[in-house]
Chain A
Amino acid sequence: MRKIFGILSVCFLFAISSCISDDDFFSPLITIEDGFVFDNQENYQLGDTIYFTLEFSRYLPEEGQPNLLDIFESTGANEFFYDIEFSKFSSFSNSYQRVFAEERNYYSPDGETNSASYNPVTETYTSTTAIVLVEPGEYQLNFNFTYFGNYNYTPNNVYLNIQNIGVNTPQEYFFTVTE
């Protein structure tokens, strides 16, 4: 009987070992430093338009690697998508709450919003965003830890997730809009 239990245990382990596997994960850490530029005047009038720009090279540093990574050749991506936080202070919650503006108040003069397009001349990805300030209040524009991804990747290309960090410039801006 002990032998039977022994062999059954072996069979069980065999069955278990046939089912378990690990997946490979590919997640290099790539960063952009001070990718966003915003000239914050801190006080604006109702109806003013603010602009912020984004520019980053196709050659980016990668943690643990001796040379810069060519993200254009790696991904084949003509654009990287991102999302920034535009918030307004709310007395209801005593905190900044995210604002989702309609297209005429949140747009890009040179293309699609939340998308950095590749410029082969400068070998950079660029984007300009305009926000029309149509409500008075206290606002926050936060570029910290914004991620960029080539979401429309194909199986033959590589998907990269890139992080923006502020090193020499603040990435969190506050301003006031008055009537």
Chain B
Amino acid sequence: MGPLTKNIPLVYCCFAFFIGNLYHSHSQDSIPDYQHEIALNTIYLLADASAYLVYENRFSDKFSAGAGLWYGRYGDGSSDFTDGFGDGTRDYEITPFARWYVRGTQRTSFFIQGFASIYGGRYDGISRETTAAGFGVYRRGINNYTNLALGAAIGQEFLLFKKRVSLELVFGLGGDLIGRNSYYDYDWGVSTAQSGINIGYRF
């Protein structure tokens, strides 16, 4: 991702928050319930041209559960490992989550979310193997990996168009529990981010 592309989510995030705050002052009436929601993470769409879909089941006034599914090819050398230096890709991510809406079913509510992330991809790595003769040997090759991470997120939800449409700002970070260390293991033990602006349809 180039610097400009990296800045798109940040600018978009701030802009959406500004719009959301304007909206917040208008109405706080309680709502009819739509239990199901399908949302699209727009930041992934804009920044990486990849689809991150989120299903959410709001089974009570204040609590919901769901899962996100992302598929893409994200990483240096993701299309071609032959340069020998691309460390790897993140190809998919499945993110089950649970949410607590602080303001319940109001048209705008802050929420706190806990999530797990099962993600994986491929990496161009060096592994030590044992030959038939019993000697060690280092071999370079492309391998698959799957990691499990846990994390937490906070966010704000706004319900629009007679509460049929939701707009969410969410930010969360998680760290690996199981899996390989990779290029994407950010500092401070953070390996995955659940962030973005989700636009959803409720039904």
Q: A residues bordering B, Cβ < 8 Å? A: 3-4, 7-8, 10-11, 13-15, 17-24, 26, 28, 59, 62, 65, 67-70, 73-74, 154-158, 160
User: B65 contacts the other chain (Cβ, under 8 Å)?
Assistant: no
A105 to chain B, nearest CB (A): 38
0/1 string, B42-85, CB within 8 A of A gives 1: 00000000000000000000000000000000000000001111
Contact A156 B87, beta carbon cutoff 8 Å: no
Q: Is the CB of B183 within 8 A of A155?
A: no
Question: Contacts A4-B21, A158-B126 given: A14-B136 contact, CB under 8 Å?
Answer: no
Contact across chains for B82 and A155 when beta carbons are under 8 A apart: yes
Residues of B71-104 contacting chain A, CB below 8 A: 82-85, 87
In the complex formed, the residue of A with least CB distance to B187 is A20
The digit string for B162-193, where 1 denotes a CB below 8 A from any CB of A, is 00000001010100000001111111001001
- Interface of B with A (CB < 8 Å)? 1, 6-7, 9-10, 13-14, 17, 21, 82-85, 87, 125-126, 128, 130-131, 134-140, 154, 156, 169, 171, 173, 181-187, 190, 193, 195
Which among A11, A26, A68 is the interface contact of B126 at CB below 8 angstroms? Answer: A26
A-B contacts, 6 listed (Cβ < 8 Å): A10-B171, A17-B173, A67-B134, A68-B135, A155-B85, A157-B140
| Other contacts beyond A14-B10, A73-B135: 17, CB < 8 A | A7-B156, A11-B17, A14-B9, A17-B173, A18-B193, A20-B186, A22-B181, A24-B182, A26-B126, A59-B135, A67-B136, A73-B131, A74-B139, A155-B84, A155-B140, A156-B140, A158-B139
The 3 closest A-B pairs by CB, nearest first: A155-B84, A74-B138, A70-B135
Among A10, A28, A70, A157, chain B packs the most CB atoms within 10 A around the CB of A10
Known: A68-B136, A69-B137, A158-B139. A15 touches B10 (CB 8 A): yes
| Cα-based distance from A177 to B75 in the complex (angstroms) | 61
CA distance A59 to B137 in the complex (A): 10
B3 → A minimal CB distance (Å): 9
